Homo-oligomer: A and B are copies of this chain.
């Protein structure tokens, strides 16, 4: 008899986005003429950079003739892209990463979700709350948690992110084996300083722990004092893996390209205490279960690594950052305490009331949609996430409406 992985039955059904859609649809039905403005979306809205479009067309033409056709490439990506990544995203910022430590993939969601496969079942795992649900759910599916009760899964260590710690968790007092970190953070928009990140690296070195560092929103960092990569921190090469994506950097949410960096010196252990290079284990996983990213997509990603490419990417990110800054400024002026919105596309707003009540109020009074923080974990209760991925005109219009609705 074919029997299922019963860990799937433990998964708390995430009603967040379907519940939002339901409430929005119901409001729209009652108010058919009302234009709804969405601050809830984590998806980009601006066109692909011109350099990417050009590279795409050129690579597509190569596929049209046998002499320049590309079939299977290396699963870990073409050298032309991996070398640019190592040079432009790491070496140029003082991080000692080489091209063969980069694995190109079709998404940071896939990579952060799949990476746990490399580890034992008995791993103790720490992750932030609020959190990007993929880190949690993939470990539930793998059987590393207990049941879901009172908003949390048994067996996980939740790192509470709140106003007291500026939404950057401190290192735990207990030992854990594996820690998920994400900066600039989704959903809070918080960033981590060099000192804070150094504490995490030191913690990991002390405890032979591993840091899984999600830097999908790195392109939004403008403050030169903030670290762009965990590999700028001394000693991180031995205890950290970094995930990055072109989704937000270059508008690739519908184009799909990302990468994971695994330094060759990063080690995990077997039960006897022998060390094994994670690079080698992931290489085996990646070549067995993945077959590389579309050639044209890799050429399009490569195109951002040029002076003109960087200018175009920066221009798009600046556009979103102007939105984010405006959201933060206007909501702060209305008396709401805000995190993020600087060096990040998300503004995390203290709603001063229940997440969903605030959501309903904004929808009804202003026709504005946000994302209730409770959907990201227990510590998200009482907050909402406002996203900068929108047109500037919509953001202004939405904020005007919010101003009228929330005036006291």
Enumerate chain A interface residues (CB-CB to B < 8 A).
Answer: 1-6, 8-9, 11, 43-48, 50, 53, 56-57, 60-61, 63-66, 69-73, 106-107, 109-110, 113-114, 117-123, 133-134, 137-138, 141, 177-178, 207-210, 251, 253-256, 268-271, 273, 276, 281, 284-285, 288-297, 391
Q: Which of A46, A210, A255, A271 neighbours the largest number of chain B CB atoms within 10 Å of its CB?
A: A255
Q: A57-B57, A141-B117, A177-B1 are in contact. Are A284 and B8 (CB under 8 A)?
A: yes
Q: Is the CB of A288 within 8 A of B2?
A: no
Q: How far is the CB of A286 from chain B (nearest CB, A)?
A: 11
Q: Is the CB of B2 within 8 A of A119?
A: yes
Q: Which residues of B contact A134 (CB under 8 A)?
A: 288-289
Q: Which residues of B contact A57 (CB under 8 A)?
A: 57, 60
| Docked CA distance A15–B289 (Å) | 17
Q: Is the CB of B47 within 8 A of A3?
A: no
Which B-chain residue is minimally distant from A41 (CB atoms)? B71
Copy number in the complex reads 2
> Assuming A45-B66, A60-B60, what are 7 further A-B pairs, CB within 8 angstroms?
A50-B64, A71-B251, A110-B289, A114-B289, A134-B288, A256-B293, A296-B296
Which B-chain residue is minimally distant from A66 (CB atoms)? B47
Q: Which single member of B5, B56, B137, B288 contacts A138 (CB below 8 Å)?
A: B288
| Docked CA distance A257–B4 (Å) | 27
A-B residue pairs, 9 tightest by C-beta: A113-B289, A43-B71, A3-B120, A70-B254, A2-B210, A1-B208, A71-B253, A107-B291, A254-B295
Q: Is the CB of A107 within 8 A of B268?
A: no
Q: A2-B119, A2-B268, A5-B120 are in contact. Are A64 and B48 (CB under 8 A)?
A: yes
Q: Is the CB of B4 within 8 A of A63?
A: no
Q: Which residues of B contact A291 (CB under 8 A)?
A: 106-107, 109-110, 253, 256
Q: Which residues of B contact A122 (CB under 8 A)?
A: 3
Q: Is the CB of B64 within 8 A of A281?
A: no
Q: A106-B291, A284-B8 are in contact. Are A47 and B63 (CB under 8 A)?
A: yes
Q: List 11 A-B contacts (CB under 8 A).
A: A1-B208, A2-B123, A2-B210, A4-B268, A5-B120, A6-B270, A43-B71, A50-B64, A57-B57, A107-B291, A141-B285
Which B-chain residue is minimally distant from A266 (CB atoms)? B2
Q: Which single member of B56, B117, B294 contacts A256 (CB below 8 Å)?
A: B294
Q: Which residues of B contact A6 (CB under 8 A)?
A: 120, 270-271
Q: Which of A50, A141, A293 neighbours the largest number of chain B CB atoms within 10 Å of its CB?
A: A141
| Docked CA distance A293–B64 (Å) | 21
Q: Is the CB of B72 within 8 A of A47?
A: no
Q: How far is the CB of A125 from chain B (nearest CB, A)?
A: 10
| Docked CA distance A2–B125 (Å) | 10
Q: Which single member of B45, B109, B119, B296 contacts A71 (CB below 8 Å)?
A: B45
